[in-house]
Chain A
Amino acid sequence: EMVMTQSPGTLSVSPGERATLSCRASQSVGSNLAWFQQKPGQAPRLLIYGASSRATGIPARFSGSGSGTEFTLTISSLQSEDFAVYYCQQYNNWPQTFGQGTKVEIK
């Protein structure tokens, strides 16, 4: 089973600052990588698919990059509603697997 490793575990950021989240796959997943945002009491929400394509309705401040085994989610200017847990997930190999999550908290 493919292992997805996210770093850091927690990221403390001030509103308006940039946040950079990392995700590493134990083997290549090509561009078959998605990012999700999850807030307490809510289902995960798709932000990015295909490593860099924004899902419908996702603000332009969210961007994804990378391919193969190294991926990045960047939030260019954090808004109050962006403080949440973020998960990367690969859908290249069976079974699909998630990272353990990065919590973005207010500094």
Chain B
Amino acid sequence: EVQLVQSGVELRKPGESLKISCKGSGYRFNLYWIVWVRQMPGKGPEWMGVIYPGDSDTRYSPSFQGQVTFSADKSISTVYLQWASLRASDSALYYCARLQGVSIRGYMDVWGNGTAVAVSS
């Protein structure tokens, strides 16, 4: 079974750093782009950008460029989303998803279970 399993709920204070993970299984993880998606409470999803685990090629949506960092460890089929200094406005649900299709012009066919991030003093 193709699966993406994400790390658990995170509670942090403003200014703290954070790294959340997404681990793939059931397919050749290194050969598919992974997308990160943000969903704020009561809102629709927002596409943050993509990473290719095979070589860590990364593309950020303009809205998220400089705000977050994607990374990958292909040896353990895992990608990461990290913040150097969290803000309250980063409180949201974060999903990873597999991109199916040609390069980064593909559709998201498998989604992770989501990681809830809450930032509050």
Q: Which residues of A are in contact with B by a Cβ distance under 8 Å?
A: 1, 32, 34, 36, 43-46, 49-50, 55, 87, 89, 91-92, 94-101
Find chain A residues with CB under 8 A from B107 CB: 32, 34, 46, 49-50, 89, 91
The reply to whether B111 and A32 contact each other, CB–CB distance below 8 Å, is no
Per-residue interface assignment for chain B, residues 53 to 92, with 1 indicating a CB less than 8 Å from any chain A CB and 0 otherwise:
0000001011100000000000000000000000000000
* Interface residue from B44, B46, B106, B114 paired with A91 (Cβ < 8 Å): B106
Q: Does B30 contact A (CB under 8 A)?
A: no
The reply to whether B106 and A95 contact each other, CB–CB distance below 8 Å, is no
The reply to whether A92 and B47 contact each other, CB–CB distance below 8 Å, is no
The reply to whether B108 and A98 contact each other, CB–CB distance below 8 Å, is no
Q: Please tell me the size bucket of the interface on B.
A: 20 to 34
Counted as pairs of residues, one from A and one from B, with CB atoms less than 8 Å apart, the total is: 56
The reply to whether A101 and B44 contact each other, CB–CB distance below 8 Å, is yes
The reply to whether B44 and A95 contact each other, CB–CB distance below 8 Å, is no
Find chain A residues with CB under 8 A from B105 CB: 32, 91-92
Find chain A residues with CB under 8 A from B45 CB: 36, 44, 87, 89, 98
Chain B interface mostly: strand
The reply to whether B44 and A46 contact each other, CB–CB distance below 8 Å, is no
Find chain A residues with CB under 8 A from B111 CB: 43-46
* Interface residue from B46, B59, B63, B114 paired with A43 (Cβ < 8 Å): B114
Residue of A nearest to B59 (CB): A94
Q: Which residues of B are in contact with A by a Cβ distance under 8 Å?
A: 35, 44-47, 49, 59, 61-63, 95, 100-101, 104-109, 111-114
Query: Within the complex, what minimum Cβ distance (angstroms) separates A93 from chain B?
Result: 9
Given contacts A95-B61, A100-B44, contact A43 B112 (CB under 8 A): yes
The reply to whether B114 and A95 contact each other, CB–CB distance below 8 Å, is no
Jot down 23 A-B pairs with beta carbons below 8 A, ordered by A. A1-B62, A1-B63, A32-B105, A43-B95, A44-B95, A44-B108, A44-B111, A45-B111, A46-B107, A49-B107, A50-B107, A55-B109, A87-B45, A89-B47, A89-B107, A91-B105, A94-B61, A94-B104, A95-B47, A96-B35, A96-B47, A98-B46, A98-B47
Find chain A residues with CB under 8 A from B95 CB: 43-44
